[in-house]
Amino acid sequence: MKIITVAGARPNFMKIAPLMEAFAAEPSIEPMLVHTGQHYDERMSDLFFRQLGIPQPDVNLGVGSGSHATQTAAIMTAFEPIVLAEKPDAVLVVGDVNSTIACGMVAVKLGVKLIHVEAGLRSGDRTMPEEINRILTDSISDLLFVTEKSGRENLLREGVDPARIHVVGNVMIDTLLKNRAKAEASTILAELGLDGQPYAALTLHRPANVDDPVILGGLLDALEAISRDMVIVFPIHPRTRKNIDGSPLAARVAGMANLRLIDPLGYLEFLKLTSSARIVLTDSGGIQEETTILQVPCLTLRENTERPITAEVGSNRIVGTDPQKILAAYREAMSGTGRKPAIPDLWDGQAARRIAKILVKVL
């Protein structure tokens, strides 16, 4: 049974790592890995392959950046001949990036079964490119592997046959649990001069936040206030860096002594940074899940989440982008009066193994 697994962008890599390992352990699965090249910088891609021990991709499509249409079309055009030549029994895609939907469409149109890992998540916000990718990918998938109960409910509401849906847990958490001890040994905090000091960790890369100078300016207002309490470490995504550099916000950012902009970190360094932080501020999806397991308070700088379980049981607060609301939530989180976060069902490090077993049985 030949399965082509697809990865394209940074948040895909920690999801495919445990899948490739689980597939290698199943004699009836012949795994193949295709990297679309959506992310290509050393620090956005190769570093993750090395740290997570992901096998070298069999093929790298090398598509790179572009508008949504250009990028999606380039991935489809490059992926189609691979599927035609390799004749896989299934194509497996993860998450919600452009590589996910592009390769998904190619597979189903060639009559190849499509597997979606991390299916069913919905923010309800169709202005997010990822939400469109999620809805479309799920609607054409043959097998849908789900991380949390909301995912199953969303899919059932959309009319997906329950026989296709499997709640298996979270492959991203497989990777976190496996690498936690290794990350602990990282010297990143000493390198940043933060050993033993309270600090906040920040990530921002959503177009809705970083492509709009008014929103980004408002976020800086909140960050400025927080930075009076503690250092904020900000490993900055290339997209965000490009938007700040050369804009009127650049001088303001440079003037905030306690806001420390650094290059994107490797997986292990970032895990160490978040696990030791007093608080995490982010607009990422995956980091809401990781902080849930790490039991670090998380403020999600968005109006919605596709991962409601993290706010329901965990330490995540969906606070939006209004500076006053961010600061109010920050103070509440720092006062530490919140409940003790719980671990969502099946987020136990075994999700990829469950997926491999189901694939062997079903395909």
Residues annotated as catalytic (active site), given as ranges: 205
157 binds ligand UD1, rule: CB under 6 A? no
Long-range contacts of 328-334 (CB under 8 A, 24+ apart): 329/299, 330/222, 330/226, 330/279, 330/299, 333/279, 333/297, 333/299, 334/229, 334/278, 334/279, 334/297
Each residue 80-119 as x (binds ligand UD1 by CB under 6 A) or -, in order, gives: ----------------xxx---------------------
14 binds ligand UD1, rule: CB under 6 A? no
Among positions 6, 18, 33, 39, the unique one binding ligand UD1 when judged by CB under 6 A: 39
| Least CB distance to ligand UD1 at residue 334 (A) | 27
DSSP 245-310: TTSTHHHHHHH-TTEEEEPPPPHHHHHHHHHT-SEEEE--SHHHHHHHHHT--EEE-SS--S-THH
Q: In the complex with ligand UD1, which residue's Cβ is closer, 136 or 225?
A: 136
Using the contact rule CB under 6 A, the part of the chain among 34-42, 157-165, 185-193, 323-331 near ligand UD1 is: 34-42
Helix (H) or strand (E) holding 173: helix 171-184
C-alpha distances out from residue 206 to 286, 321, 337, 353, Å:
13, 12, 30, 31
Q: In the complex with ligand UD1, which residue's Cβ is closer, 71 or 150?
A: 71
Among positions 3, 4, 6, 9, the unique one binding ligand UD1 when judged by CB under 6 A: 9
38 binds ligand UD1, rule: CB under 6 A? yes
Q: In the complex with ligand UD1, which residue's Cβ is closer, 14 or 222?
A: 14
Using the contact rule CB under 6 A, the part of the chain among 40-48, 186-194, 244-252, 299-307 near ligand UD1 is: 40-48
Structure tokens at 52: 């997570």
Q: In the complex with ligand UD1, which residue's Cβ is closer, 64 or 338?
A: 64
C-alpha distances out from residue 339 to 300, 313, 314, 336, Å:
18, 9, 9, 8
Neighbours of 323 (CB within 10 A): 17
How far is 89 from 110, CA to CA, in rounded Å? 11
Residue 274's nearest CA partner among 240, 251, 297, 247 is 297
- Let me know: does 179 contact 360? Beta carbons within 8 Å: no
130 binds ligand UD1, rule: CB under 6 A? yes
Residues touching ligand UD1: how many (CB under 6 A)?
Answer: 20
Q: In the complex with ligand UD1, which residue's Cβ is closer, 65 or 197?
A: 65
Using the contact rule CB under 6 A, the part of the chain among 157-165, 185-193, 231-239, 337-345 near ligand UD1 is: 231-239
289 binds ligand UD1, rule: CB under 6 A? no
70 binds ligand UD1, rule: CB under 6 A? no
**Encoded amino acid at 168, one letter:** V
Residues that bind ligand UD1 (CB under 6 A): 9-11, 38-41, 44, 65, 71, 96-98, 129-130, 205, 237-239, 242
